[in-house]
Amino acid sequence: AQANDPDLQSPSELVRLEAQWRRDFPMSEADVRASDTVMGLRGEDHAVWIIATNDKTPEAAAMLTAYMENDSYREAFKASIVAAYKQVENSPKLIDDLDHLTAMAAQIVNEVEERLYPEPQSASAQATPSR
C-alpha cells in the first residue's frame, strides 16, 4: 500500500479508515479482495465503522457496494450488524438509532443480493397463495 494512496484523502471517513488499515497492514486493495478470509475481516470492521462514523457519503456507498459482492464480506458484515442489534435489543431508542446508522448499508446489501440472486418472477408469483 502506498503512502500517497488517494483514498487517504477521501471525503469518506470509511474510505479513509480502510486506506489507513491497508497502509498499516500493509496490503493492496487487490490483495484484500483476493482473500475471502481477509474480506470477512473487512466486513466485520466496516459494519462497526459504518455505525461509529454514520458515513453516508457516495464514496462510502461505492466502497460498500463493491465489497458487498464478496460473499464472505457480506455475510460477516451482516453478522456484525445483527450482533450490534443484539447488544441493544432492550432499548427501542438505541434500536432506532441503529436503524438510522445502518439504513444505507442495509439498502446496499439488499440491492447487491437482489442482483446476485435474482428471484424468477413467475416462481415468486406462484409461491404467493391467493385467498
CA quadruple 31, 2, 109, 111: dihedral, nearest 10: -100
Say if CB 43 and CB 80 are below 8 A apart: yes
Helix axes 36-53, 13-24, angle to 10 degrees: 140
Query: Residue 60: which domain range?
Result: 6-115
Query: How many angstroms separate the Cα of 65 from the Cα of each of 1, 19, 73, 96, 97?
Result: 22, 16, 11, 24, 22
In a domain, 130, yes or no: no
Q: Which residue has the higher pLDDT, 2 or 94?
A: 94
The pLDDT, as a whole number, for residue 120 is 77
Rounded to two decimals, the pTM is 0.86
In a domain, 128, yes or no: no
In a domain, 70, yes or no: yes
102-123: pLDDT as tens digits:
999 999 999 999 999 998 765 5
Say if CB 68 and CB 33 are below 8 A apart: no
Residues of the chain above pLDDT 90, percent? 86
In a domain, 121, yes or no: no
Grid coordinates of 38:
481477509
26-60: pLDDT as tens digits:
999 999 999 999 999 999 999 999 999 999 999 99
Query: Grid coordinates 438509532 are at which residue?
Result: 97
> Looking at the predicted structure, is the pLDDT value of residue 124 above 50?
no
- Counted domains in the chain: 1
